[in-house]
Chains A and B, each alone.
Chain A
Amino acid sequence: MKRIAIILLLGTALPALADRVPLPANTPASYPAECSSCHMAYQPALLSANDWRRTMAGLKDHFGTDATVDGPAGQEIASFLERNAGNAGKLGSAGEPPRITQTARFIRKHREIAPRYWNDPRIKSAANCEACHRGAADGNYSEHDILIRELRR
C-alpha cells in the first residue's frame, strides 16, 4: 500500500520536475546584469555547452546586435554557462547561430502551439518565454501555468 502511494506520488511529481529549470544557485551576478536586459536570463540547461561556447564567441553579432561583454565578466559568464549547460543528447542541435528555440527539446515541447501564436502581439517572439510562462525567469515552465488562457493545459 505504501509502495503504491510512493509510485503515485512519483508519477505526479516527475512531470512537474521536468518543467522546472531553475538558474543554478551559484549564478554569478554578471550573468543577469549583462544578459537579461534585452531578453530574460535563459537558464544554462536550455543549451548544450558547445552551443553556449558558440553563442559567447559570436556576441559581436548576436542576432543582429553587438552584445559584446568585455573582460572578466565575459569569461565568467562563458564558463558558468558551459559548466551548467544542458545535456547535448537530449537537447539536440540548436542550429547556426544556436537558438534555444531550434533545439529538439524546445520544438517537441511546443509542437501543439499553432504557428500564428509566435507572431501574436501578446507574445511577439519565441524568445519571449515570459509572455506565456509567467514563472520562466524562476525556471517554471509548467504547461498548467500559462498566461495565454487558450494555450493553458
Chain B
Amino acid sequence: MRALPVLCLMLASVAAQAETAQQIGRTYAAEATARQAGFAPSAKRGETFFHQRFANNDKMPACTSCHTDSPLNGGQHAITGKAIRPLAVVANPERFADLAKVEKWFGRNCKEVIGRDCTPAEKADFVAYMSEVR
C-alpha cells in the first residue's frame, strides 16, 4: 500500500522528464495549425530551413554555421570554437527532450541568426527534420 504513492510519484516524474521529440513536434504543430488550418509538419521543409542563409549575421548566416551541413555531426560555435554535440535525435538522444530548453534555444538562435522569432510552423518543421534525419 505504501509502495503505491511512491510508484505514482515515480511515474509522474518520469512523465514530466521524458518529453519526446514527437511530443514537442506535436506541440508546435498544434500552434501552427491554430494559425493556419491544415498545417502539416514537413521534415523536408525543415531541412531547407536548416540550410537557408539569412542576411542578418555575417558570422552566423545559417544554422549550419555552428551545426555543420549535417545535423548528424558535432559542430563548433562559430565565434568561441566551443564543441557542440549533434542536433539530430538519432545521433544525440538528449536533443528535443525538454520543451523549455528547446524554446530557450529557438528563442536565442532564431533571433541571432534570422533576426526574428521563428514561427510555430518553422519550429514544427525543424523538429520533424531533426527527429527523422538518419
Interface residues, chain A, CB within 8 Å of chain B? 37-40, 63-67, 123-125, 127-128, 130-131
The stretch of B25-33, B34-42, B78-86, B118-126 in contact with A is B78-86
Q: List 14 A-B contacts (CB under 8 A).
A: A38-B80, A39-B80, A39-B82, A64-B59, A65-B112, A66-B108, A66-B112, A123-B81, A127-B79, A127-B80, A128-B81, A128-B82, A130-B82, A130-B83
Contact assessment for A65 and B82 in the assembled complex, using a CB-CB cutoff below 8 Å: no
Give the CA-CA distance A62 to B59 in the complex, in Å. Answer: 15
List A contacts of B59 (CB < 8 A): 64
CB neighbors of A among B44-82 (8 A):
59, 76-77, 79-82
Contact of A40 among B79, B82, B112 (CB under 8 A): B82
Contact assessment for B112 and A38 in the assembled complex, using a CB-CB cutoff below 8 Å: no
List A contacts of B77 (CB < 8 A): 38-39
How many pairs, one residue from A and one from B, have CB atoms within 8 Å of each other in the complex? 36
List A contacts of B79 (CB < 8 A): 38, 63-64, 124-125, 127
Which of B76, B77, B84 has most chain A Cβ within 10 Å?
B77
List A contacts of B134 (CB < 8 A): none
Contact assessment for B112 and A131 in the assembled complex, using a CB-CB cutoff below 8 Å: no
Q: Which residue of B lies closest to A36 (CB)?
A: B82
Interface of A is mostly: loop
Contact of B81 among A64, A67, A124 (CB under 8 A): A124
Please report the total number of B residues contacting A with Cβ < 8 Å.
Answer: 12
List B contacts of A131 (CB < 8 A): 81
Q: Taking the complex as formed, is B116 at the interface, i.e. its CB lies under 8 A from any CB of chain A?
A: no
Contact assessment for A127 and B112 in the assembled complex, using a CB-CB cutoff below 8 Å: no
B81 → A minimal CB distance (Å): 3
A74 → B minimal CB distance (Å): 13
Give the CA-CA distance A67 to B112 in the complex, in Å. Answer: 10
Contact assessment for B108 and A124 in the assembled complex, using a CB-CB cutoff below 8 Å: no
A46 → B minimal CB distance (Å): 15
List B contacts of A37 (CB < 8 A): 82, 84
Give the CA-CA distance A82 to B82 in the complex, in Å. Answer: 24
Contact assessment for B111 and A66 in the assembled complex, using a CB-CB cutoff below 8 Å: yes
List B contacts of A127 (CB < 8 A): 79-81
Contact of B82 among A38, A64, A67 (CB under 8 A): A38
